[in-house]
Amino acid sequence: MLSVILYGRNDGYGYNLHKRAALSINCISEVLTEPGDELLFVDYNSPDDYPTFPEAIQDTLTARAKECLRVFRVRQWMHERVRGNSHLNALEPIARNVAIRRSNPANRWVLSTNTDMIFVPHQGLSLSNLVKDLPRGLFHLPRFEIPESFWESFDRHEPSTVIEQVRSLSRLAHLNEIVEFDDVIRFDAPGDFQLMDRDDLLSISGFHEGMLLGWHVDSNIAKRLFLIYGETRDLTSRLFGYHCDHTRQVTPAHRKDSPSNDLDVFFNDVTSPYVPEQADTWGLPDMEIEEIRLGQAASRGYLEVLRSSMPCPQEAPTVCSVSPAAYDKVSYSAPHVLPFLVDLFASAPPALRVGWVGSNPELHSMFAAFRDSIGYAGSIIVFEPGADILGRKLKGLHAESLRELSDRVDTLIFDYNAFAAGSGEEHTDKLLAEIRAAFVTAVALETERLQSGRAARRFVAVNAFHNAFEQPTTNLLNTAKTPFSARIRQGFVVKLDKNCTNWAESMRVGDAGQRQNHAICSIGGKPGVVLHGPCCAVDKGDGVITLELACRRILQPFRLLDVVKGFARVKIFVDGAVVARRRLRRSALYLGGMDVRFHAPRNSILELKIWSSGSHEFEVRNLQIKKVA
């Protein structure tokens, strides 16, 4: 009988969104009483790694709501084609058209409304019964407002009680005020109740998809149907509609300076019900839209698949250390990391293609098994730097080069396992250096893609903590400060100013150094590494590192060894290989610093280390990396 259309996205659009949306969805479902009735929610442009909005609040929805709900997911990439034409993240006409195209063809009526409405029939609790005998046409309702503190007091789990409360309390609080407008839309804010014949919507190509700036989408569809019927009818005699007000917080569409669709173009000057330019394209007909049914076990969820993916329950807590002595020796348990890794992909598009760079077969096979079990069809393509070192290959599809891998995938995972199974400690340094080098190359390839205008892809780093992979990851990706135990850092490639960057505060302090204010100082009498870093990306070609130095104290005024070898040494590494080295002599301290030139044979990760003999106390105040023309 009735298809009710809602749309939204998984964000915080307005104060207490989850409460009013659950109230509305539960109350609307409560008044849908015919077997074919349905509630169509189009989740438009939620981030790909988030669940849809109804999935996120499903524990607050009633069994009846889950039974009625059909959720259609419009992915981010589907929105890209119109992103530049609108400031909005959710586009109403496209979202509503997606639902109309996929609505139950056996239902005569389509009700276009929003996730903040509560409908109160004058008799009983059935909206379906009220529309059974209606003649063909367009029907509107006036909208009555409910203050925020009013609807916040309702129990979202008791929709029939809420409807009765609204019925009685609205009269007590004098909320029922009809705000009239012209003959076309009849009432102010008509978009919260527009009851239309499904066949009419199909014949006029649905809502106008040129209306991408917000507002007046409801007025446009009303004007076009008015041109067919010559009138807009009123259902006030059969039910009231109540709107859960949410203007306590100013949302993008409610700002006083928010752009809006041109009222003359889309309402005053409209002379035809048809939109011929979208006759074959409205509602994304050629795109495969994911449908999610909360009331059915059609697909296995995250927890269920995780249970089946784990080899056995954990008998005792695992133990690890982040002490200075454990630097670059941190490994992980694959069963411990798996829940955090697959959590990033639990809501990803089923066809997402994953690039895997690493050599740990245990985590790779567990991740692949999880994706297979959850029903994802996207392939996992492997680039394995350690294949020649280990004499074996991970199972699955392989790419011959990083460029090939980059061209074939939608996201990339780098597994930096310090002790890959079967590698042996003698191979560890070489293996990890190759993974780091592959990461830098992939970042360079991603930068090329971004410069060509293509969308950014997610990079995931496994075990980029307390080791030599941490700084490249945090410097080259815009990552969150995730907890160590999760072993996951993820984000998107950031654009760095490689021509002149002050890295002094980004350097790591070594055993023979200490940070004081904005400088790193050597510890007198203690030989060893004073500082190292910054593990930043450099372009292929020549460059120079400028060190600003100052002397704090000379412990041994004259040592022949300092004359010959210097009191400190500077080395520059590119992808782990030494490309430049200099000795620090007293002249550098007297002059206030020194330059060290280097050559990067390719786009690479650069790292600098300074060792001290312990005979001088000195400080590094500033460090700049510049490209040389």
CATH of the domain at 611: 2.60.120.260
Residue 420 confidence class, pLDDT cut points 50, 70, 90: very low
**Quick one: average pLDDT of 244-255?**
69
H/E run at residue 402: helix 402-408
Residue 258 confidence class, pLDDT cut points 50, 70, 90: confident
Pairwise CA distance, residues 447 & 494, whole Å? 9
- Beta strand segments in 235-327, E: 239-244, 290-292
Rounded to the nearest 5 degrees, what angle is found at the Cα of 471, between the Cα atoms of 466 and 473?
105
Pairwise CA distance, residues 618 & 509, whole Å? 14
Q: What are phi and psi of 464, to 5 degrees?
A: -90, 60
Q: What is the pLDDT of residue 502?
A: 64
The region, left, alpha or beta by phi > 0 then psi within -120 to 50, assigned to residue 566 is left
Which of 139-148, 271-280, 461-470, 565-574 is predicted with the least confidence, judged by mean pLDDT? 565-574
pLDDT at residue 418 greater than cutoff 60: no
Interval 466-495: pLDDT, tens: 888 888 888 889 888 889 999 999 999 986
Could you tell me if 147 and 12 lie in one domain? yes
Interval 105-137: pLDDT, tens: 999 999 999 999 999 999 999 999 999 999 999
Could you tell me if 283 and 311 lie in one domain? no
- DSSP characters over 255-280: STT-----HIIIIIT---S--GGGTT
User: Quick check: is 225 in a domain?
Assistant: yes
Q: What is the pLDDT of residue 563?
A: 54
The boundaries of the domain holding residue 569 are: 501-627
pLDDT at residue 368 greater than cutoff 80: yes
Q: What is the pLDDT of residue 421?
A: 45
Pairwise CA distance, residues 116 & 25, whole Å? 8
Q: Which of 444, 477, 493 is the last residue of a domain?
A: 493
Could you tell me if 203 and 227 lie in one domain? yes
Assess contact for 506 and 534: CB atoms under 8 A: yes
Q: Which of 441, 469, 493 is the last residue of a domain?
A: 493
Number of domains in the chain: 3
User: Quick check: is 235 in a domain?
Assistant: yes
Q: What is the pLDDT of residue 375?
A: 80
Could you tell me if 364 and 489 lie in one domain? yes
Q: What is the pLDDT of residue 297?
A: 44
Pairwise CA distance, residues 159 & 262, whole Å? 38
Could you tell me if 567 and 520 lie in one domain? yes
Could you tell me if 239 and 286 lie in one domain? yes
- DSSP characters over 86-118: -S-SS-HHHHHHHHHHTS-TT--EEEE--TTEE
User: Quick check: is 318 in a domain?
Assistant: yes
Percent of the chain residues past pLDDT 70, beyond the cut: 91
User: Quick check: is 299 in a domain?
Assistant: no
Pairwise CA distance, residues 142 & 23, whole Å? 20
* Residue of 29, 12, 334 lying closest to 163 (CA atoms): 29
User: Quick check: is 298 in a domain?
Assistant: no
Pairwise CA distance, residues 368 & 383, whole Å? 15
Q: Which of 493, 527, 555 is the last residue of a domain?
A: 493
Q: What are phi and psi of 515, to 5 degrees?
A: -90, 130
User: Quick check: is 268 in a domain?
Assistant: yes
Could you tell me if 37 and 148 lie in one domain? yes
Assess contact for 208 and 93: CB atoms under 8 A: yes
Could you tell me if 383 and 531 lie in one domain? no
Residue 353 belongs to domain with CATH number:
3.40.50.150
Could you tell me if 464 and 609 lie in one domain? no
Assess contact for 26 and 159: CB atoms under 8 A: yes
Interval 425-458: pLDDT, tens: 556 777 888 888 889 889 888 988 888 888 889 9
Q: What is the pLDDT of residue 390?
A: 65
Bigger pLDDT: 94 or 299? 94
**Quick one: average pLDDT of 82-94?**
91
Q: What are phi and psi of 260, to 5 degrees?
A: -145, 160
Could you tell me if 513 and 439 lie in one domain? no
Pairwise CA distance, residues 93 & 281, whole Å? 13
Could you tell me if 330 and 265 lie in one domain? no
Could you tell me if 603 and 460 lie in one domain? no
